[in-house]
Structure 1
Amino acid sequence: MSDLDQLAQALGRNLKHWRGERGLTLDALAARSGVSRGMIIQIEQARTNPSVGTTVKLADALGVSIATLLDEVESAAVRVVTPEQSVRMWSTSTGSRARLLAGTERPGPLELWTWRLMPGDGSESDAHADGTVELIHVTAGELTLVVDGEEHRVAMGSSAVFDANVPHGYRNDGDAVVELTMAVSLATGG
């Protein structure tokens, strides 16, 4: 079984579990997330690998982190995540990428990411749930952070914090590779 197949199975199992925990029907989760009922069924049956955007919408609607939806094993008191176990969530043919390094539900959903953006590449994100905050630290290059249509330059060694309940994106408008670490504190669902 390929890594992608294992990931699809873990996502399907965890989506079904958290939908049940929240007492949501397929129709209720579809309405809450904006993801079609048919797509949710396909995901729960591990018949598709959804986009990052779809996975984020489902996690937000359930009030859990993406890491929780993709976790293949139950969390232990200490969980070491090797580089091979991190999850590639986004990539381009030019070498840009985003990897989910780790996440936790205690005391609330929290995710840790590493990103690489090649010159000219970028990634857009829909608004997350109210109360979601992103913290970014640029370790190489200069990031163009776009929050609710407003551009902010974040140079190497600098950090940014913002409420992620509005559309936002990350771009590399320069000639050098941009690398950054991101922590996402997700709003708890209800």
Structure 2
Amino acid sequence: MVRTEHDALELIHQNRVVTEVPALGTPSLVEAVAGGPVRGSWRAHAKGRLMYRLGRILRASDEVLSVRLVEGKVAFVDPSLWAVVYRVAMEPSRRRRSLEGLSPQARALLTAVERDREVRLDKDSEWTKARETLEERLLVHVSETEAETGRHVTVLRSWRDWVSPTVKEAAESLTYEAALERLREACGGAPTGLGAWVP
């Protein structure tokens, strides 16, 4: 059972991919904290506050990658798979498909991220829908941090700015097909897909 940040990180290191909320094929943080399946809304669960707090901590952590991966849900990814995620995110054919149908606001936000390397947004801002679209389509890296005021801020970065030389070098040794296969395997076969923007 997960009770602390250390427990949550161990869960991710052991399983390589852990979704925040339940999804087919992967263990979830919510169920690990609860000690089993959760009926109804996890937010109403007796341990709902702990689930929420640990989710926020993991989104801000440098030890895991937070990315919408399985069924469009947030997944926490162990460093052993960062090169695989980066390779998939940067595949030109996948990125072209992901750019199709973007709203003008989402395109403007993507342009700002690519130009400025980092954009910070309040959790609930006029850019929320555009940010969610870019995150779901794996077009930007998204994390969270706590502002000086104590409120949570969403940080958008280009994947090129996020990646380390070591991860980039490892990604360059992978074909797109091999990266997808490794990612699907780590997600329990991803029976319902890795999201609409990953074939």
Q: Same fold (TM over 0.5)?
A: no
Q: Relative to total residues, which structure has the larger helix share, 1 or 2?
A: 2
TM-score interval for Structure 1 and Structure 2 normalised by the shorter chain: 0.3 to 0.5
Q: Relative to total residues, which structure has the larger strand share, 1 or 2?
A: 1
After TM superposition, the score normalised by the length of structure 2 is: 0.32
